[in-house]
Amino acid sequence: MEMTKDLLRVTETEGRGRALVAAQPLKGGQIVLRDSPILIYSALPLISPSLHPYCNHCFKTLKQPQPQAAGSSAFVCPWCSHHAFCSSNCLSSALSYYHSPWVCQALRRLRDSPSPLSDQPLERQVQARFLIAAYNLAIVSQSNFQMLLSLQGQPDDSTAADTTAAAHFLHYLISSLCAPPPALQEQQLFSAELSAALLAKDKLNAFGLMEPFSETSQRSSRAYAIYPKASFFNHDCLPNACRFDYVDADGDRNTDMVIRMIHDVPAGREICLSYFPVNQSYSSRQRTLAEDYGFACQCDRCKVEANWSDNEENIEGEEEAEGMDEDQDQEMEAASESEPESGSDIEEAQAQMESDFPHAYFFLSFMCNRTNCWGTLAPLPPKDDGTPSNVMECNVCGNLKKDEEISDHGHDGLSIDG
Ligand SMILES: C[S@@+](CC[C@H](N)C(=O)[O-])C[C@H]1O[C@@H](n2cnc3c(N)ncnc32)[C@H](O)[C@@H]1O
């Protein structure tokens, strides 16, 4: 884990648990954290006849997924022949870490038909993958296992009700099929309660490693990963930092998560990510945060939007509210279309914008306008001499844009409080 030492510090906050705070003034585009995962597991169902199209160690797309195909460059696990890898290096690393003999045996037995998992929702298969990967940490790295246990999430959290039943089912299933990992058995840790605690931690802390963006289909996760430092970021519906991941990039750090500042912030300010795309409506955000993360968001944006007249309608009416509704869209458009001319006009327009729709500036400057993208834009990292970049990168579709192409409203005078 790099760069957090001087740039960010962990602090306890009232009602929000641990948080990451700027230890010095931070610049837009600055990389404030590069974090490597302690655990990664596939997001694909466990019971599947075909090999995954990804390397089961580094999760890069395999050029030739089927090893039997002529000219294939894939390597397969010699024990199960069911997991493919992109290189002999990934294969040998996997056999001593993510795909240890214990994992290989447990996955094989869970997959064997008739598997009790085949009657369960697909989500259960992915949870089984996580539990196997988490128990395996106790075998391959006690320190990473302890790190996982120290993350937020308990079986009695309000968000864990649905995972507790899954944990009991999976715990008894896994223990009926394979001997528990020796390290957990020795410490008498292996229990349904431990499984429930682990699943609760996964729910609050796992990040999805996303498939490349496509304008025509919904973006899905290829894998999930636990990042020990990035897990300390709290949520804000108008974040001041955002994550970039480059899972298909060359090199061996392709699963690292990079967190970059969206704009400048002063020392002492909490650095927050948005746990989902920023275009979601107030009621949708509140629902996700309550159900999946166990808190009612009271960020500045939510305080303003709580008073918008159409919220009740949203809460009762919308089933799957993903985007902003039409009224919000119109407010945003109106804000962006007003072109103040004189100095006092500008001040008036800013005052109006800040009271009606204080985050219009955020949407105009930092939200990608590519169809169905809803990604967040952050400047490229400053040059070595500290010169800021005027090129913005979208953290979803990867588009690069010059600052002035995004918004022709000057930055002067509008402050963003993250
Ligand atoms: C990924 S963890 C973030 C770090 C966490 N605060 C900790 O102490 O480890 C997610 C959890 O942090 C808390 N949290 C995050 N953002 C919050 C916010 N804006 N308000 C209140 N609680 C928040 C919630 O309990 C949430 O389930």
Q: Give domain status of residue 298, yes or no.
A: no
- pLDDT over threshold 60, residue 312: no
Between CA 178 and CA 156 the distance in angstroms is: 27
Mutate to test the pocket of ligand 1, among 10, 147, 152 (most ligand atoms within 8 A of CB): 152
Higher pLDDT, 217 or 260: 260
Tokens, residue 66? 């089927």
Q: Do 246 and 254 meet the contact criterion of CB atoms below 8 Å apart?
A: yes
| Total residues found in the chain within this entry | 418
For the chain, how are helix, strand and coil distributed in percent, rounded to 5?
40, 15, 45
Tokens, residue 13? 């906050």
Between CA 280 and CA 288 the distance in angstroms is: 10
Q: Give domain status of residue 173, yes or no.
A: yes
Tokens, residue 353? 């914008």
Between CA 233 and CA 408 the distance in angstroms is: 32
For residue 407, the Cα-to-chain-centroid distance in whole angstroms is 27
Measure 257 CA to ligand 1 centroid, in angstroms: 19
Mutate to test the pocket of ligand 1, among 16, 20, 226, 298 (most ligand atoms within 8 A of CB): 16
Structural domain of residue 150, as residue ranges? 39-205
Question: pLDDT value at position 118?
Answer: 87
Q: What is the mean pLDDT of the chain?
A: 84
- Count structural domains, the chain: 1
Looking at ligand 1, which atom is closest to the CA of residue 233?
3
- pLDDT over threshold 60, residue 320: no
- pLDDT over threshold 60, residue 328: no
Tokens, residue 6? 């001087």
Largest interatomic CA distance in the chain: 75
Q: Give the start-end residues of each E strand in 72-145.
A: 75-76, 84-85
Confidence band for 295, pLDDT divided at 50, 70 and 90: very high
Q: Please tell me if the CB atom of residue 288 comes closer than 6 angstroms to any atom of ligand 1.
A: no
Higher pLDDT, 215 or 241: 241
Tokens, residue 215? 């304008």
Q: Give domain status of residue 192, yes or no.
A: yes
Question: pLDDT value at position 267?
Answer: 98
State pLDDT tens for residues 110-168.
988 678 888 889 999 999 999 999 999 999 999 999 999 999 998 888 777 888 999 99
Q: Give domain status of residue 341, yes or no.
A: no
Question: pLDDT value at position 322?
Answer: 43
Q: Please tell me if the CB atom of residue 297 comes closer than 6 angstroms to any atom of ligand 1.
A: yes
- pLDDT over threshold 60, residue 2: no
Measure 231 CA to ligand 1 centroid, in angstroms: 9
Q: Give domain status of residue 12, yes or no.
A: no
**Residue 191: partners with Cβ closer than 8 Å, 6 or more residues away:** 171
Measure 296 CA to ligand 1 centroid, in angstroms: 10
Question: pLDDT value at position 218?
Answer: 86
State pLDDT tens for residues 38-70.
999 999 988 887 778 899 999 999 986 555 544
Between CA 176 and CA 188 the distance in angstroms is: 17
Mutate to test the pocket of ligand 1, among 11, 234, 278, 297 (most ligand atoms within 8 A of CB): 234
- pLDDT over threshold 60, residue 323: no
In this structure, the residue with its CA closest to atom 26 of ligand 1 is 293
Q: Give domain status of residue 303, yes or no.
A: no
State pLDDT tens for residues 344-391.
555 665 566 566 676 788 998 999 999 999 999 999 999 989 899 999
Q: Do 409 and 341 meet the contact criterion of CB atoms below 8 Å apart?
A: no
Q: Which residue in 21, 24, 25, 26 sits closest to 269, CA to CA?
A: 21
Q: Please tell me if the CB atom of residue 17 comes closer than 6 angstroms to any atom of ligand 1.
A: yes
Measure 202 CA to ligand 1 centroid, in angstroms: 13
Q: Do 83 and 51 meet the contact criterion of CB atoms below 8 Å apart?
A: yes
ipTM of predicted assembly, 2 dp: 0.99
State pLDDT tens for residues 232-248.
999 999 999 999 999 99
List the end-to-end C-alpha distance of the chain, in Å, as a whole number: 24
Tokens, residue 283? 């009621």
